[in-house]
Amino acid sequence: MQDQATTPDATLRAMQAIVGERACLSGDTDTQAYVTDYRRIYHGRARVVVMPSSTEQVSRVLQWCYANNVPVVPQGGNTSLMGGAVPDDSGTAVVVNLSRMNRVLAIDTINDTMTVQAGVTLSAARSAAEAEQRLFPLRIGSEGSCQIGGNLSTNAGGTAVLRYGNMRDLVLGIEAVLPDGRIYSSQRGLRKDNTGYDLKHLFIGAEGTLGIITGAVLKLMPQPRSSAVAFVAVDSPAAAVRLLGEAKHLSGQAVTAFELISQPALELVLEYLGNVAAPLPARHDWMVLIELTSGTDAESLNATLMEILESGFEQKLVVDAAVAASLSDAQTFWRIREEISDAQTRTGGSIKCDVSVPLSRIAAFVEEASAKVLALEPAARMVIYGHMGDGNVHFNPLRPKDQTAKAFLAQWYEPISSLVDAMAHAENGSISAEHGIGVVKRDDLTRYKSAVELELMWQVKQALDPRNLLNPGKVLPARGH
């Protein structure tokens, strides 16, 4: 039980004394945007929303909360799809929003690293790298809002994982404030450091349950000199996987993105965008968006793309293809892909499963899981899309057009998400490939993590956050659940 001896007023005054009056919000109206999740499913309450401007201020905030047993919810751009960044409705938590810690502190073009505060948005980080002719390769649709701290806390993935890896692969060190206010730092920019446990990885993907990430040293890559993009209709998911193999074989490291898009996903997003034409003239059940990038010239990269497509046609993997003839074509293809998520949020009534299985099983998984869902609800729109190249698909059955979101979710959310997750698990897959756990998937972990894994997770939590004050109720199911 938490000791709530401190009143909301006393908390507000204490926070104001640390960060200044203008960096504290209280009251239901002013805090609303910070207590409602991105998909507007969770509506919590906060005692105070506090916006520190330095690591030292974060440390003092956490010290005070620790001493007074006040729970803390860390928050970046609040783009979690799992309700991971908002407080519950008890009104007891202090939300620590990192938006004001938004400075790029240093770029070292010899070490190829960038040191940032956690509140830098992903797009600002990418732009800062670009200004120095470097690439920070993480690419996700919410890059204008999501922040590096949140990207790290959720080990964000996105559309370039196939080439560059997850956020975990893109960081050399972090700074994090522990629940009692102590500061951990490994921001030395080293690519080699085998001096015991690599502690930064505890905080990456922990969704703010072990500490608040306040800064990071990120890896920078060479900027590609050319890119080639195609929107390709394929015969089946299995044909898509074979085409990916062909693309890897013919282009070496150049395949940067390989995104699957089902016909209902395309139809939904085109309806949502309104004024964007379908990239291909005919209707196809399955499509892939392929992007190659390289340090060579555009001509030879385009030739490689054509070679891949020709080989695909010959082997009857490819049915039709539109190659982007300009930057604007490529941007349109990408817009179609990246807006699928918002199109679903706007439509309402989608069962968002985010699963991964080994690449060798992904095609069969997609076909078999689709058949099972359609056997339950034949009119469900099978919005399936995402990062097939790394074995991760967003498998999101959507309500039939003539059903309300409420009715569809009430009847099907539980049976369909359990079915899809169980099928992924049976294929050695994951029930959350890149969106994390938050509150949405928390209790499901009891079914899909082993007793040993759960016990270790609890022991780590206990060691770092013995009072269970950091993002309580997220990620970890209750012990003995």
Residues that bind ligand MLT (CB under 6 A): 81, 141, 340-341, 386, 394
Nearer to ligand MLT, 219 or 394 (CB): 394
Q: How far is the CB of 141 from ligand MLT (least distance, A)?
A: 5
Q: Tell me the one-letter amino acid at 404.
A: T
What SS3 state is found at 203? Answer: helix
Q: Measured on CA atoms in the order 107, 112, 118, 119, is the torsion positive or negative?
A: positive
Q: For residues 265 and 337, give the distance between their C-alpha atoms in angstroms, rounded to a whole number.
A: 9
Q: How far is the CB of 392 from ligand MLT (least distance, A)?
A: 8
Q: Which residue has the tokens 């945007």?
A: 33
DSSP assignment of 46-76: -SEEE--SSHHHHHHHHHHHHHTT--EEEES
Read off the DSSP letter of residue 178.
-
Nearer to ligand MLT, 62 or 357 (CB): 357
Q: How far is the CB of 136 from ligand MLT (least distance, A)?
A: 18
Collect all residues with Cβ–Cβ distance below 8 Å to 52 and sequence separation of at least 6.
Answer: 18, 19, 23, 58, 61, 96, 98, 100, 101
Nearer to ligand MLT, 94 or 244 (CB): 244
Q: How far is the CB of 235 from ligand MLT (least distance, A)?
A: 23
Please count the other Cβ atoms lying within 10 Å of the Cβ belonging to residue 78.
22
Nearer to ligand MLT, 188 or 335 (CB): 335
Distance of CA 172 to the CA centre of its chain: 19
Nearer to ligand MLT, 142 or 304 (CB): 142
- Answer for the pair 37, 83: CB distance below 8 angstroms, yes or no: yes
Nearer to ligand MLT, 386 or 429 (CB): 386
Q: How far is the CB of 211 from ligand MLT (least distance, A)?
A: 25
Nearer to ligand MLT, 272 or 313 (CB): 272
Q: For residues 437 and 440, give the distance between their C-alpha atoms in angstroms, rounded to a whole number.
A: 6
Residue spans of beta strands (DSSP E) within 166-254:
171-177, 183-185, 212-219, 221-222, 226-234
Nearer to ligand MLT, 257 or 454 (CB): 257
Tally the C-alpha atoms within 13 A of residue 115's C-alpha that lie toward its C-beta. Answer: 13
Nearest residue to 254 (alpha-carbon basis) of 287, 228, 288: 228
Which tokens go with 423? 């099928």
